[in-house]
Structure 1
Amino acid sequence: MKNLYIIIFAMLFIACANEKTNETDVTTTEVDHDHITITKAQFESENMAFGTVSKFDFNQSIKVNGMIDVPPQNKSTISPFIGGYITQTPLLVGSEVKKGQLLVTLQNPEYVEIQQNYLEVAEQLSYLKSEFERQKTLYDEQITSQKNYLKAESDYKSNLARFNGLRKKLQMLNISPARVEGGTISSSVNLYAPIDGFVTKVNVSNGSYVSSSDIILEIVDTHHIHLELSVFEKDIMNIKKGQKILFKIPEASEETFEADVHLIGTTIDAASRRVQVHGHVNNEEGQFIVGMFVEAEIITESSKQMGLPQEAIVGLEDGTYALALENDENDVFHLEKVKLEVGKQTEDAVEILNADDFKNKQILIKGIGMLLNESEGGHSH
């Protein structure tokens, strides 16, 4: 029995030794404090990559929020001058319209009354004008009294004022005074598009009554899209006309778009302590919708400096490091841990102040975190 125990113990010892040997065989990385060795197989399987210290844009910026908008002259709300019942509304939200295009037709007996009043006043005007001129001649010849002359003048001028007022009202209703004078009276009026653009709101349907205070349609001309941004009071002194704006529409796209600061507001909102900044969008083609929320940064200072990608560096307790290639032999990369002096930072890159120390050196720009963090217990920068 004793021999049996010895045999079992020996077998377990050999198995453990083999397992330990196997673990050593699969280890492809040898680590010390300043040098790391990896195989090309590990380099490729972990999708590592080499690069060099190169120039990056380092921008100082102010982060702001805002929305897509258009200038006031590019937005129009359509309301009737005098209320009426909708008889025709051929447009839907999204419809494109041209300036002068028919938008909506309304009917109201009041339109007829206005035209009738205009006709009556027009006919009276001819008589009153003749009477005024006759009384003026008689008065000049001292045949009639001043009283008769002044009454004729008053009647004529008051009627002329009423005539001009009704004529203007017809024009505002898009009714031709000449057609009315020719005997053509219409019970309906048409509203036309004052600008080119797209219908963004339709608030009515056929048969509904709208008053002069109701908005029937809204039209927006999207050819001059711009940004309306809100900048905190503490940042506004750093904003200058012409500065570059980078912005995203987080709810719709991951793409970054460009704009320029065009106008800076001169008043501060008392509640929010913010100032409005107006930006011109460089690419206005189609993808923007008025009212979209935007996240933007206004570039207040920009420079190109030597740097490395963020993923090429690791911050350890005693400094910031990268891994430089010492040599490459027998399918093995020998890497050296090098200390960096860092300056400005962006989301993508870090300025390297001692970049001259790494001229023509290959730097591991992908995979360093796995190697240095495992060996040093550090944390990613």
Structure 2
Amino acid sequence: MKFSFDSKRPLLGLLSLVLLLPSCKEAVVTEAPPLKVNVVTAIQNDVPLYEEFVAQVYGKSDVDIRARVEGWVTSVNFKEGSAVKKGQLLYTIDDIEYKNRMDRQASEVTRANTELVRAESELSRVRPLTELNALSQKDLDNAVAEYEAAKAHVNATQSSLDNAKIELGYTRVYAPFDGIIGISNVREGDYVSRVGGSSVLATISSVDGVRVRFQISEREYLRIAQLSMEERAEARNNVQLILADGTVYSEMGSVSFGDREIDPSTGTLTLEASFPNPTGLLRPGLFVKARILMSTYPGAVMVPQRAVAQLQHIAQVYVVTDSSSLQVTSVETGPKVGDAWIIKSGLKAGDRVAIIGAAGLTADSKIEVVDQKWPEDQK
């Protein structure tokens, strides 16, 4: 059997297959959808620059009420933590011993006065007789000495009586001024002394005004000291309080004094500011932040801190272009103010910048702008 073989047929088939392959494969070109990016507008304002310091509140007056005599507490006449008035009775201490002492001193005064009368009478008798030479000069000198001694004894016993009356008065403990009294350290039946730990009965604080103390570092002190006189005066009279819940206290305060020296153990200087407290909101011991206006940055351009990318010493922002794409711009940052960053150069007011953090966000990315209100309190 013979097979016929055409050498041209396989070549033609292969060529036909090659020509058909491009027509069987369609080119697929996909374009990524634009990324949704939150965008804010750079703003420009005169910005007050503050410094914040951890501080503690003290009463305008914080006075320990101490026992000035020894004895048993017979009554406690106030409610702990309540407001008290000047002159209000707080404690009574057993006064029998002090009454007896006062009575003894009163009898001594009576005896001394009797002796003074006798000595005065004797001097009145001796003096004319001495002038008539009926008695010697020595007799007159003795009579004068007895009279002066009797008079001095009256003064001494009267002083002892006065002291006994004062100690008797100390058995009644009164409030020295209007204020709020704290927890009592003693109860009825406790023994108190004028020395030692038992002498402090309670503490009263005057809270119609308060003192706030805080410390600044040596570096902060030097920076403040180099401010102009006008800037220091403005800083001194513009002190705010940030309360523990983050709210700003409604009343402004002023720095009343600074300590005489830098504490060598901590390297800090203690300052004290005074604040009115008309509602009694502030209590002694409260921890707050003292915020002081140091200066004002005029015409500051600001963007949110989260819109600034930092890499080592380089700061960049993503600026939205007219074609809804992003352009990386290097900026020079200034101080931080709240959640914002002051931009010293590289941006101008009205520039729109992207909030960093969107996945796949790069320069020249096509974006879909989602405008965000910033700052949050703007209308």
Which one of 294, 308, 322 corresponds to residue 326 of structure 1? 322
**Change over 3 Å in CA distance of 1:138–1:246 after alignment to 2:** same
Distance (whole Å) between structure 2 residues aligned to residue 373 and residue 299 of structure 1: 41
Which one of 187, 190, 194 corresponds to residue 208 of structure 1? 190
**Equivalences for 1:285-304 in 2 at 5 Å?**
285-304=279-298
Contact 1:86–1:106, Cα closer than 8 Å, also in 2: yes
Question: Which residue of structure 1 lines up, in the alignment, with residue 82 of structure 2?
Answer: 95
Contact 1:82–1:212, Cα closer than 8 Å, also in 2: yes
In the alignment, structure 1 residue 253 sits paired with structure 2 residue 262: no
Moved more, 234-243 or 216-225: 234-243
Distance (whole Å) between structure 1 residues aligned to residue 160 and residue 97 of structure 2: 16
**Change over 3 Å in CA distance of 1:246–1:305 after alignment to 2:** farther
Q: What are structure 2's unaligned runs of at least 5 residues?
A: 1-27, 226-231, 365-379
Distance (whole Å) between structure 2 residues aligned to residue 162 and residue 196 of structure 1: 37
Distance (whole Å) between structure 2 residues aligned to residue 111 and residue 90 of structure 1: 21
Distance (whole Å) between structure 2 residues aligned to residue 112 and residue 172 of structure 1: 9
Question: Which residue of structure 2 lines up, in the alignment, with residue 11 of structure 1?
Answer: none
In the alignment, structure 1 residue 345 sits paired with structure 2 residue 335: yes
In the alignment, structure 1 residue 268 sits paired with structure 2 residue 254: no
Q: Cα distance, 1:154 vs. partner?
A: 1.2
In the alignment, residue 149 of structure 1 is paired with which amino acid?
V
Q: Cα distance, 1:60 vs. partner?
A: 5.9
Contact 1:265–1:275, Cα closer than 8 Å, also in 2: yes
Which one of 263, 266, 277 corresponds to residue 271 of structure 2? 277
In the alignment, residue 65 of structure 1 is paired with which amino acid?
V
Which protein has the larger Cα radius of gyration, Structure 1 or Structure 2? 2
**Change over 3 Å in CA distance of 1:231–1:353 after alignment to 2:** closer
Per-residue CA deviations over 1:333-355 (Å, capped at 9, x if unaligned) read x3553636434221432223348
Q: Cα distance, 1:372 vs. partner?
A: 8.7
Q: Cα distance, 1:358 vs. partner?
A: 3.6
Which one of 201, 208, 212 corresponds to residue 227 of structure 1? 212
Distance (whole Å) between structure 1 residues aligned to residue 263 and residue 73 of structure 2: 41
**Equivalences for 1:183-202 in 2 at 5 Å?**
189-202=171-184
Which one of 50, 54, 65 corresponds to residue 65 of structure 1? 54
SS at structure 1 position matched to 2:106: helix
Contact 1:225–1:284, Cα closer than 8 Å, also in 2: no
Question: Which residue of structure 1 lines up, in the alignment, with residue 43 of structure 2?
Answer: 53
Q: What are structure 1's unaligned runs of at least 5 residues?
A: 1-16, 30-41, 176-188, 328-333
SS at structure 1 position matched to 2:356: helix
Q: Cα distance, 1:126 vs. partner?
A: 3.2
**Change over 3 Å in CA distance of 1:353–1:276 after alignment to 2:** closer
Q: Cα distance, 1:206 vs. partner?
A: 1.0
Moved more, 275-284 or 152-161: 275-284
Per-residue CA deviations over 1:175-201 (Å, capped at 9, x if unaligned) read 8xxxxxxxxxxxxx3211111111123
Distance (whole Å) between structure 2 residues aligned to residue 373 and residue 120 of structure 1: 102
Question: Which residue of structure 2 lines up, in the alignment, with residue 307 of structure 1?
Answer: 301
Distance (whole Å) between structure 2 residues aligned to residue 236 and residue 70 of structure 1: 25
Moved more, 105-114 or 238-247: 238-247
Contact 1:342–1:350, Cα closer than 8 Å, also in 2: no
Question: Which residue of structure 1 lines up, in the alignment, with residue 110 of structure 2?
Answer: 123
**Change over 3 Å in CA distance of 1:280–1:117 after alignment to 2:** same
Which one of 218, 221, 224 corresponds to residue 203 of structure 2? 218
Contact 1:58–1:345, Cα closer than 8 Å, also in 2: no
Q: How many corresponding residue pairs?
A: 313
Distance (whole Å) between structure 2 residues aligned to residue 90 and residue 158 of structure 1: 40
In the alignment, residue 248 of structure 2 is paired with which amino acid?
T
Which one of 60, 69, 92 corresponds to residue 105 of structure 1? 92
User: What is the TM-score with the length of structure 1 in the denominator?
Assistant: 0.70
Per-residue CA deviations over 1:186-236 (Å, capped at 9, x if unaligned) read xxx321111111112311111111111211121111122111112233433
Distance (whole Å) between structure 1 residues aligned to residue 331 and residue 276 of structure 2: 37
Distance (whole Å) between structure 2 residues aligned to residue 215 and residue 261 of structure 1: 31
Per-residue CA deviations over 1:38-76 (Å, capped at 9, x if unaligned) read xxxx57xxxx46444221425263x543321134xx122
Distance (whole Å) between structure 1 residues aligned to residue 320 and residue 280 of structure 2: 47
SS at structure 2 position matched to 1:374: coil
**Change over 3 Å in CA distance of 1:312–1:268 after alignment to 2:** closer
Which one of 146, 150, 158 corresponds to residue 155 of structure 1? 150
Distance (whole Å) between structure 1 residues aligned to residue 127 and residue 41 of structure 2: 104
**Change over 3 Å in CA distance of 1:133–1:335 after alignment to 2:** farther
Moved more, 135-144 or 103-112: 135-144
SS at structure 2 position matched to 1:277: strand
SS at structure 2 position matched to 1:161: helix
Contact 2:50–2:291, Cα closer than 8 Å, also in 1: no
Contact 2:72–2:93, Cα closer than 8 Å, also in 1: yes
Q: Cα distance, 1:174 vs. partner?
A: 2.2
SS at structure 1 position matched to 2:279: coil
Contact 1:230–1:275, Cα closer than 8 Å, also in 2: yes
